[in-house]
Amino acid sequence: MTPEAAKQDKHTFVLNMGPQHPSTHGVMRVILEMDGEHILEPEPVLGYGHRIQEKMGEARPWPGFMPNTSRMDYLSAMIYNHGYVSLIERMTGIEVPRRAEFIRVITDELNRIQSHLLWLGAFLLDLGAFTPIMYTFDDREQILDILEDVTGSRLTYCYHRVGGVARDIDEKFVERTRAFIARLRSRFKPIYYDLVTSNIIFIKRVKDVVSFTPELARRYGLTGPPLRSTGISYDIRKNEPYSIYPEFDFEVPVGTKGDCLEVYNIRVAEMEQSLRIIEQALDRLPEGPFRNKIPRKVKLPQGDATFSVETARGELTYYLVSDGSDVPYRLKIRVPSFSNLSVLQELCRNMLLSDLVMSLGTLDLVIPEIDR
């Protein structure tokens, strides 16, 4: 039914959700064609915060775009750094010291955990539970303190460098990271499991809401925890491994039903897997340089290249075309939130308005990543 037809039907109406709505966690609008509390047709409207990030990458030498990477998905900022510098290293053949690769993985996984912690608290807050966000932000602050010491920033990092990282980690960083691992593991059962995961009110509220399927995922390019909730075990760190991830023993949590509850369980399980990766990296952290010297001005060889990494929300791919200068001729960025949002119309037809808030939260969208 079109909005015009809805106006003629006394039982239907059009409702604007956003662009200033708390549950969208950003400037996004959803036009809802409603029949009472039921959604007949949801239509996402984007572009309120568009910043032409890719065009900025084509208008300056490639090092000048590095701070921009963290301004897209500010919750996976470190991983966005990693993807871009790895793309440049692939094109130029610049090598990375082994110690730097370990540091990259450690900081990436800390970044992934803090993203999942923020999601967990905000998701439950959207559902009306206030207490959990106090615990998740308490744990998240520990990570931000650790990363601030080595990067100088708490959110939008520009720490990775072509050929390594900006600054080496010290024994204080290692000790604080190990203390955080022990702290978070000690809080999984008494706080996250007993308070939330096993809470019957929470289970009844999220179980069987939405239905991600393998067929839906393939049609829309769904990635990340929503894809893995369908039973498809696809994680770039395992399926198209990069950096030194093949050296670590970790699992990719998957589900079978594809509902909100399984996506939640997958994200909680991923935090434990990230702790496993960090712990192994700390145990085997090698000595040596943290960055190789590179020429002051590096021209990109003529041609094109791609590089993919696994962010907290799914697959991120950088695609760069070079004409042989130090300024990219074309830069295209495939972000997970945009593809994940594409399922919303088909996923949320005929559901209750209150469940739409939960569906948006389950997708874990970062709007500046979509409106890049």
**Structural domain of 216:** 53-338
Q: Give the whole-angstrom CA distance, residue 338 versus residue 242.
A: 23
Does residue 319 fall inside a structural domain?
Answer: yes
Cross-strand partners of 165: 160
Domain count, the chain: 1
What is the chain's mean pLDDT, rounded? Answer: 92
| Residue 164: partners with Cβ closer than 8 Å, 6 or more residues away | 96, 97, 100, 289, 290, 291, 292
Q: What does the pLDDT read at residue 126?
A: 86
Q: Give the whole-angstrom CA distance, residue 311 versus residue 177.
A: 20
Does residue 329 fall inside a structural domain?
Answer: yes
Does residue 231 fall inside a structural domain?
Answer: yes
Does residue 47 fall inside a structural domain?
Answer: no
**pLDDT band at 307, cuts 50/70/90?**
very high
**Distances 177 to 29, 99, 242, 251 between C-alpha atoms, Å:** 39, 17, 23, 21
Q: What is the DSSP string of 69-101?
A: HTTTSTTSHHHHHHHHHHHHHHHHT----HHHH
**What one-letter code names the amino acid at 31?**
I
| DSSP state, residue 301 | P
Q: Give the whole-angstrom CA distance, residue 341 versus residue 320.
A: 24
Judge contact between 311 and 80, C-beta under 8 A: yes
- Per-residue pLDDT tens over the stretch 38-89: 999 999 888 888 888 999 999 999 999 999 999 999 999 999 999 999 999 9
Does residue 72 fall inside a structural domain?
Answer: yes
Q: Give the whole-angstrom CA distance, residue 348 versus residue 153.
A: 38
**pLDDT band at 326, cuts 50/70/90?**
very high
Q: At what angle do helices 171-187 and 131-151 cross, to 10 degrees?
A: 170
Q: Give the whole-angstrom CA distance, residue 158 versus residue 84.
A: 11
Does residue 247 fall inside a structural domain?
Answer: yes
- Checking if the pLDDT of 325 tops 90, the result is yes
Does residue 120 fall inside a structural domain?
Answer: yes
Q: Give the whole-angstrom CA distance, residue 80 versus residue 60.
A: 18
Return the closest-CA partner of residue 115 out of 156, 75, 73, 81: 75
CATH code assigned at 280: 1.10.645.10
- Per-residue pLDDT tens over the stretch 198-244: 999 999 999 998 889 999 999 999 999 999 999 999 999 999 999 99
Does residue 349 fall inside a structural domain?
Answer: no
- Per-residue pLDDT tens over the stretch 267-276: 999 999 999 9
**Distances 115 to 147, 327, 349, 365, 366 between C-alpha atoms, Å:** 13, 32, 29, 11, 11
Judge contact between 82 and 159, C-beta under 8 A: no
